[in-house]
Chains A and B, each alone.
Chain A
Amino acid sequence: MRKQTTIDLSISLVLVLAFVALPHFYSNLTILFMMAMYMVLSQGVNLLYGLTGYMPFGYVGFFGAGAYGFSIALQHLHFPIVLALIFGVLFTSLVGVILSPLLRLSGAYFAIGNLATSQVIYGIVANSHLQGITGGGDGVDISQYFNQTASYYVMLAVLLVVMVGIIWVKRSSFGLSLQAMRDDSVSVAMSGVNVVRNRMLVWLASAAIAGLCGAIYAWFISFFYPSSVFDVSIGIFAIVFMLFGGQGTIFGPVIGTIILYGIYNVIGVSTPQYFQLAYGVLIVILVMFLPNGVLSLFKRGRRAHGRVLESRPNF
């Protein structure tokens, strides 16, 4: 194993262990859960956007699908928690397969198309004709399974797995072919790379990550409305955290989430009226001066192992 890989794995382990220990020093488990969840979600966006250039503005569609898939498996199929989580992920992957024709669009068309489809899923779930299955607009109540401690630790386990996965992808020849795909999708095919299949794999992996987050979130809060798990801002948060930290990097999404979600909880809770302003200003600064995120500040001229992608989406 390469030295840099060992370092990256160690940092990831320390990160997760810190979150394992944190509840003993800090009592607001919801904030810790949400922070871990956003790290995972923004890694999911990072996988898709950072490696293939597709910007999933409707990422929350998968999150919501996972939340509902999980809840339906619990309530109607009476699955145990673990199987219900798996069901949620499989259900989300199925949604991913159904939505895969979106990958034929590029750039802004993909982003908008993805946003629109997430709202269609929302519309279907909230529809009163499906009241018997989804609960419709009345929401879902799975409070008999309420267990915040367990769901928190499951989220941490997922965080660790996703971190290891990202590190593997970045170092593997699969990851290299993805980056080559982003540079030139025509000549990469002549190198023998099956572009359509690779895109599909990344798309489904990214969908599955969001679906799993949604499922664990549903378990954690155990009562929710369609509007709360299909809230577009969940996906947008994940995108902004990823962009802020550094797209295509291993730790960008983690750093971005810690800083921005941290600020959100300080300013957003005490003086919510300033939050929108601060956030808006931050995004403008980011796009103008730091298109590759804060991590790029430390990576200048040290490209060899960080492999920061260029900010060149496939628009």
Chain B
Amino acid sequence: MGAFLKVDQISKRFGGFYAVNGLSFELKQGEILGLVGPNGSGKTTCINVLSGIYAADGGTVEFDGKMIHTMPSYKISNIGINRTYQIPKCFHSLTVKENIDVALAHAKHKPQVDPVEFLELQGIMGRNAGTLNTAQQKTLDLARALATGPKLLLVDELAAGLNPEETESMTTKLLHLSEQGVSIIVVEHLLSFVHALTKRVIVMNAGKQIFEGDLESASKDPLVNQVYLGGDAV
């Protein structure tokens, strides 16, 4: 089977500044890819392009046999890509249940898991999303994403702000989704969370890929160590 997701030479600039600059990679069904790199290296921008929030200034993205780099977000959601956000973007005036209902009402695919049970949200369904703490809001973002039954899930700094116990539980859950055939791109600027999920990483710096391969080799790569200021992130 060929690539499920094929990103070819995408770039995105803000003014004259390239936040993503000619990035290419492929992903198979059910595969987990770590997208790592220091702050400001273009990871979130890459996710924003893949999810249609920004149109790419160059390059193409093919997903499940369709060219998607010019699609608006709602269509991207409809064809089976969804995501979470580095800074949570819940619907603050709605309850947790209503947040999930919006996604369920517009979902075009049957969810692989029941997002509420899977993420153990039963206890807070009636609460206003605006009153949740950051970890809960991130979990709610993930629940909304899962409610649309995504075949490709993009998670942006999901572990930041979670305690070690929550991080471990999140790891188990993402691994379970991958076993169900969901492809996942895990964006992190620290490598420990990625380590538990996958061997394969792409390291970005200044909008470009500086390394692709397995995590162990990444930690020994001189360029990777240099951008991470001596490798203390590994």
What residues make up the interface of A, taking CB atoms closer than 8 Å to B?
A: 173, 176-177, 179-180, 182-184, 186-196, 303, 309-310, 312
Chain B, interface residues (CB within 8 Å), range: 20 to 34
B205 at the binding interface (Cβ < 8 Å)? no
Q: What is the distance, in angstroms, from A191's C-beta to the closest C-beta of chain B? A: 4
User: Which positions 163-183 of chain B face chain A at CB distance < 8 Å?
Assistant: none
What residues make up the interface of B, taking CB atoms closer than 8 Å to A?
A: 51-53, 72-74, 76-78, 82-83, 85, 89-94, 98-99, 101-103, 105-108, 128, 130, 141, 144-145, 147-148
Measured between alpha carbons, how far is A186 from B91 in the docked complex, in Å?
10
Known: A176-B105, A177-B105, A180-B99. A188 touches B53 (CB 8 A): no
Q: What is the distance, in angstroms, from A171's C-beta to the closest C-beta of chain B? A: 12
Which of B72, B94, B145 touches A189 (beta carbons < 8 Å)? Answer: B72
Which of A188, A189, A193, A303 touches B128 (beta carbons < 8 Å)? Answer: A303
Which of A179, A186, A190 touches B94 (beta carbons < 8 Å)? Answer: A179
Decide if A179 touches B93 in the complex (CB within 8 Å).
Answer: yes
16 contacts between A and B (CB under 8 A): A176-B101, A176-B102, A183-B91, A184-B91, A186-B53, A187-B90, A190-B51, A190-B74, A190-B76, A190-B82, A190-B83, A190-B148, A191-B103, A191-B148, A192-B108, A312-B93
Measured between alpha carbons, how far is A1 from B103 in the docked complex, in Å?
23
Known: A173-B105, A176-B98. A192 touches B74 (CB 8 A): yes
Measured between alpha carbons, how far is A303 from B74 in the docked complex, in Å?
29
Chain A residues lying within 8 Å of B77, measured Cβ to Cβ, are 189-192
Apart from the given pairs A190-B53, A191-B148, A192-B77, 12 other A-B contacts in the complex at a CB distance below 8 Å: A176-B105, A179-B91, A180-B91, A183-B93, A184-B91, A187-B89, A188-B91, A191-B147, A193-B102, A193-B106, A194-B74, A196-B72
